[in-house]
Amino acid sequence: MIFDIEVKIFLKEEMLNPEATTIERSLDLLGYKVKNTKTIDIIKFQMDGKDIEKIRESVVDMCERLLCNPVIHNYKISVIPQEYSFNGD
């Protein structure tokens, strides 16, 4: 079975986010007042396997070892069997 994987990576609350600060300042210069801007990275891929829990465990390992820095990042993982997924791209 093929699984669609989506990993959302974002900075922990206590971390400074210069990218979000720059976006807020730029929008302010354009006349838009926004607050609490956050930025995230989204990584999408597919994996082949039989057990959704084993797939999820593998993705957690990927996050901890390569995809993010657990000291400064949090992440959310979505694992969806392809037969149930909808490709909106």
Range of the domain at 58: 2-84
Residue 75 maps to a domain: yes
Q: Are 42 and 7 in contact (CB under 8 A)?
A: yes
Instruction: State if pTM tops 0.95.
Output: no
How much is the pLDDT for 83? 76
Q: How many residues does the chain have?
A: 89
Whether pLDDT at 10 is above 90:
yes
Specify the number of domains making up the chain: 1
pLDDT digits (tens, 9 = 90+) for 27-71: 999 999 999 999 999 999 999 999 999 999 999 999 999 999 999
Residue 89 maps to a domain: no
* H or E stretch at 7: strand 2-11
Residue 58 maps to a domain: yes
Residue 13 maps to a domain: yes
CATH number for 73: 3.30.1280.10
